[in-house]
Amino acid sequence: MWFWSMGTDMGIDLGTATVLVYIKGKGVILKEPSVVAIDKVNNKVLAVGEEARKMIGRTPGNIVALRPLKDGVISDYDVTEKMLKHFIRKACGKRRISAPKVMVCVPCQATEVEKRAVRDAAIHAGAKKVYLIEEPLAAAIGAGVDITIPSGNMVIDIGGGTTDVAVISLGGIVVRSSIKIAGDKFDEAIMKYIRKKHKLMIGERTAEDLKINVGSAFKREEEVYMDVKGRDLITGLPKNITVSSEEMREALHETITAIAETTHNVLEKTPPELAADIAEKGILMTGGGSLLNGLDKLIEHVTKVPVRVADEAVSCVAIGTGKVLDFIDKLDVTLNDSEVALID
C-alpha cells in the first residue's frame, strides 16, 4: 500500500553528461553519468549511470552503451524514460512512497516539442506532477542569488550539451541565448586535435581526462603536461604521447571563443539599467564546463566584466531545481501558460 512520505519532492538536473537528483530536505543525493547500457538482442537495460559509463568503448557487439540525451535534449525517448525511472527509484530508496512531484530543468531555448518530451518522460518514469524550469534560473537559485528583486544578474551555465547565457531580474529571464557548445564539444575538439596533430586516435574518456587535467582556455602561469595512450593511425599500434596545456588551449580555441562571443552578444542586448547591475556584481558561471581552467579569465577578458565561478558549480542547477519547489508560486518558472498547469 502506498503512503505519502515527506521529502519525496525532487528536483532533477537532466543533463547531457550527468543526472543529478535533489531531494527536498536532503540535498543532492544522486549524481551519475547519463549513460545506459542496453543488450540489443532483447532490448534489455543492463546498467545505468556510472556502471554503464565504464562500458563506453569497451562493449561486445550485442551490447551498446549510449547516452540518451544529446545537446541538452532527449534524443532517445524510451531509453531516457528507463534511465529516469532508475534514478527516481534509486533516489527514493527502498521505501514505498507515493509518486513524487518533480521539477526538471530544460535549456533556456528548448522548443515546445523538446519540453513536452522531457515532461512526458518524467511522468512515465513515475512522477505525479511535473514542472519545468529553465537552467539559468535554477543555476542562479542554486548558487544563492536572490533573483526575485528588481536587479540584474547574469548567469552562464555550461553543461555537457548546451551553454545557456541569461540575464535574470524579478524572477524571470530578460535576455537569453543557448548554444549547443559545451563540455561534450570540448571533448570532441580535443579528440579531433589529437587525431590531426599527433595522428593518434583517443576515446571520449581519455579526451575528458585531458580536459580536466590539462585543459586550458587562457594562458596558464605554468605549463602542465599529461601522458596519453591511444592508437597510432599510421601503424595501427598502441602509442604514448605527452600533451601540453598550451596544445589544449589551441584545441579548445574555437569552442571557448563561441561561448565568449555568445556572452558578449547577450550583454549587448541587455537593457542599460540591468547592464549596470551586472557590471557591478559581475557574471556568475555554473555547470561542469565552467570548471575548465582559465575559462572565467577568458570571458572576463572579452566582456571586461568580473566573472566568478559558483562554489558548487556542478550541483548548482540541481540544488536550484529542488529549492524552487518551495516557492514555485513566486517565480515565472515556465515558458508559457500551458506549462504552468500541473501535469496529472
* Identity of residue 301: H
If you write DSSP's letter for every residue of 193-226 in order, what string do you get? HHHHHH-EE--HHHHHHHHHHH--SS--SS--EE
Same domain, 295 and 197: no
How many independent structural domains does the chain possess? 3
Residue 313 — very low, low, confident or very high, per pLDDT cuts 50/70/90? very high
Q: Select from 307, 277, 332, 303 the least CA-distant residue to 153.
A: 277
Among the ranges given (69-83, 87-101, 213-227, 321-335), the one the predictor scored with the smallest mean pLDDT: 321-335
Same domain, 190 and 335: no
| pLDDT at 102 (0 to 100) | 87
**For residue 334, pLDDT beyond 80:** no
Same domain, 23 and 65: yes
Range(s) of the domain holding residue 305 = 151-181+256-310
**For residue 311, pLDDT beyond 60:** yes
The answer to whether residue 191 is domain-embedded is yes
Are residues 316 and 31 in contact, defined by beta-carbon separation less than 8 angstroms? no
Percent of the chain clearing pLDDT 70 (strictly above): 91
Same domain, 260 and 133: no
**pLDDT greater at residue 212 or residue 91:** 212
Report how far residue 259's alpha carbon sits from residue 156's, in angstroms, rounded to the nearest whole number.
9
* 3-state secondary structure string across 23-41: ECCCEEEEEEECCEEEECC
Same domain, 63 and 133: yes
pTM: 0.86
- What is the arithmetic mean of pLDDT over 278-306? 94
* 3-state secondary structure string across 245-272: HHHHHHHHHHHHHHHHHHHHHHHHHCCH
- What is the arithmetic mean of pLDDT over 188-210? 94
Start-to-end CA span in the chain (Å) = 20
The answer to whether residue 237 is domain-embedded is yes
The answer to whether residue 1 is domain-embedded is no
Same domain, 232 and 295: no
Same domain, 38 and 176: no
| pLDDT at 97 (0 to 100) | 58
Pairing of strands 101-106, 129-134: parallel
User: What is the CATH number for 170?
Assistant: 3.30.420.40
| pLDDT at 5 (0 to 100) | 43
251, 275, 295 - which closes a domain? 251
Same domain, 207 and 288: no
Same domain, 322 and 212: no
Same domain, 21 and 107: yes
Same domain, 198 and 81: no
Same domain, 174 and 264: yes
For the stretch 284-297, pLDDT in tens is 999 999 999 999 99
229, 251, 273 - which closes a domain? 251
Residue 337 — very low, low, confident or very high, per pLDDT cuts 50/70/90? very low
For the stretch 120-171, pLDDT in tens is 998 988 888 888 999 999 999 999 999 889 999 999 999 999 999 999 999 8
* Identity of residue 81: E
